[in-house]
Amino acid sequence: ELNKNPVEGFSAGLIDDNDLYRWEVLIIGPPDTLYEGGVFKAHLTFPKDYPLRPPKMKFITEIWHPNVDKNGDVCISILHEPGEDKYGYEKPEERWLPIHTVETIMISVISMLADPNGDSPANV
């Protein structure tokens, strides 16, 4: 679907044609942000029970962002396990839902780059 209808701001594809669960994405730094002009590589790793559970996303390119852990793991609501947040910070509808796609994940990550969530930092 992404090959037929590319979305501006990123490209995505399989790391290995024999493994549907591991993807590589290239994100173009959003305009008017500190990341403008940058190209950032990340990996998406999908669980075997996708779409019931979210993939994990990890930046391979070194990047500093409040919502990206020091090891590159991305911490945003839609990549959190579905259901109630035990801390009461996120609403269930903000967390993973099976309707999410690579496109919606990437749009959320690009939005996160442009507008960090300082209330829920992964990299204090």
Q: Please state the three-class secondary structure of the chain as a single string.
A: CCCCCCCCCEEEEEEECCEEEEEEEEEECCCCCCCCCCEEEEEEECCCCCCCCCCEEEECCCCCCCCECCCCEECCHHHCCCCCCCCCCCCHHHCCCCCCCHHHHHHHHHHHHHCCCCCCCCCC
pTM over 0.85: yes
The pLDDT of residue 105 is: 96
- Can you give the pLDDT of all 124 residues of the chain as single tens digits? 887 888 899 999 999 999 999 999 999 999 999 999 999 999 999 999 999 999 999 999 999 999 999 999 999 999 999 999 888 888 999 999 999 999 999 999 999 999 998 877 787 6
The per-residue pLDDT for 32 is 95
Q: Which of 42, 68, 74, 75 is catalytic?
A: 75
At residue 1, the pLDDT reads 81
Question: Is 75 in the active site?
Answer: yes
User: Phi, psi (5° rounding) for residue 40?
Assistant: -120, 125
pLDDT of amino acid 123: 78
Domain 10-114 in CATH 3.10.110.10? The answer is: yes
On the 0-12 / 13-18 / 19+ scale of CB atoms within 10 A, 70 is exposed
The domain locations on the chain are 10-114
Q: What does the block give as tokens for 37?
A: 């002009």
Q: Supply the pLDDT for residue 27.
A: 97
